Structure 1
Amino acid sequence: MAGATPGAARKGPRHVAIIMDGNGRWATMRGRPRLFGHHAGAKRVREIVEACPGQGVEYLTIFGFSTENWKRTQIEVAGLMSLFRRYIQKEARALKANNVRVRFIGDRPGLDRKLQALMDELEEMTEGCDGTNLTIALNYGGRDEVARATQRLAEDVAAGKLDPADVDEETLPRYLDTRVLPDPDLVIRTSGEARISNFLLWQSAYAEYEFIDTLWPDFTAAVFAGLIRNYAGRDRRYGGVKR
């Protein structure tokens, strides 16, 4: 599905991707450790997931931990890994009860085995859900994803499964982590930063962007709804012009 030619016009976004930034700053502003902000941000995820059906959003992809985040302090990284494990254990039943299908993207082998096992279990538990599709990017980087996809593609070429002459812009998406997902229509970044931070580089070629000042722990369902309305008012031409 990823990489497909944009389809018929639609008022609201089918797939929203969010770079959830500002947790650490939110905590620092309150005189608390950065991990306090990450815990507050994790709680906000549930509200946004639950808001998706009412906004017509079928797919939600959130950036949980990037391949570059390993550069943070050992204490913060360890705290984040513990938070991810706790989040999965705590939210699993609620996600299934709300008919949410969960997937994870990123370099999974780079994560600890316990976390990997929990990720596998949650994906299996929600496999039959057909409501909101929640994709969580953990140990994810857009360039890393493309490199891994290219390696798998090259292996198929070497094995004679793929003719190099048949490789085009529709081929690579079949090897990406997001191969079963539609491309994002709207990418949101919170906290006032105006960069994409190596997130869904290939998939976001035609996405609309919203860079907002709100820190992620303050990102409410009402703010989300406002951005959905903004998107609906945009004129998406995909390189064409109105006749």
Structure 2
Amino acid sequence: MQQVSVGDLDVRVGLTGGDIGRISKTIDAMLEQIRSLISRIYLEESEKRKLEMLAMQSQIRPHFMYNTINAIKWMAKMQGASGIEEALNSFSSVIKFTAKTEGDFVTVREETDFIKDYIQILDLRYFNKFDVHYDIDENVLEYKTLKFLLQPLVENAVFHGFDKIEDKGMLEIKVGQEDGRLIFVIKDNGIGIPDELLDDSHSIQKLNSIGISNIQKRIELNFGKEYGLFLSSEKNQGTVAKIVLPIMK
């Protein structure tokens, strides 16, 4: 017990018989549980770092890009090219958000503002291909959320969901709270995700640069298995992605 008190958790009492034997057995079991817990924590923290690095791959980090785009934006403004100015303004906001390195969490307001800028850029690329509707509860805007949870889902809806549909795409983004939890819902009327992809996390991950499975793992590692990403989809009927998080004020 003296060895344990100074941090040596690899010891084993190993005594048998009587009360001392029962105490010995209990202590040995306790130490085994502690060693197992420490090992699991190390593995989870290592997995978190790997997933965070994957998320970082989506970021455009050099600040000189942000400054350069701002310079081009002001040139466009001086020349009266309002469309170019507006596009560059959205792009510079996206770069500014993705270049933030402090911490893994942002406010819901920051995450949704980032998505609005990102969608505005997508709308320039896919002109009049889709409409977007926002339903964001103002009461949750200052709550905290993990960064980059929505972008892969929006990317999937636009790049894959609307790719081959004849009608105009409709993207709905809803943010609110339900049963004491923070809820994000992204709904589209696209071609849907095939059942074989929904059942295969490796195939799902190939759908975008970060990966839907990355979102699920990041949520699970940070908050536990009772939270996460839930997908439902029907062929040619669209996809609904629901993210459930704890409320963090």
- TM-score w.r.t. structure 2 length? 0.24
The structure with more radius of gyration: 2
Higher relative contact order (CA 8 A, sep 6+): 1
- TM-score w.r.t. structure 1 length? 0.24
Structure with higher strand content: 2
